[in-house]
Amino acid sequence: MTTTTPDLSSPEFDPRDAVLEAALALLEARAAHMLTVDEWVGLARAVAKCQGIQTVGYLTDRDLDQVVEDEVDWDTERDGPLPEAESL
C-alpha cells in the first residue's frame, strides 16, 4: 500500500480518511508479523468500528491462536467469535 501525504488545506480533506488509511497500512504490517497481537487487536478494533464490522474480520488464523493462547481481553459481541478452541 502506498500512502500519500494528504493536502490538509483542501476543502475535501477528511481527517478520518487519513486515519483510516494509516490504520489500514498498520493492519497490513500486522499481517506481515511486524506488530504484537495486543497492538494489532487494539488497532483492528478501531478500524472495524469505523467500518461497522467485527474485529475478527482483521484477524489471521495465527492471530486468533495468539488471542486464545495469550488470553487477550476479548468481547465476543464486539469482536466476533473465536475458533472452537475457545470453548475447550
Between 9 and 59, residue with greater pLDDT: 59
Q: CB atoms < 10 A from the CB of 73, how many?
A: 10
Q: CB atoms < 10 A from the CB of 71, how many?
A: 7
**CB contact at 8 A, 31 and 57:** no
- Whole-model pTM: value is 0.62
pLDDT in tens, 11-42: 777 778 878 887 888 888 878 878 788 888 88
Q: Is the pLDDT of residue 6 over 70?
A: no
Between 22 and 77, residue with greater pLDDT: 77
**CB contact at 8 A, 72 and 66:** yes
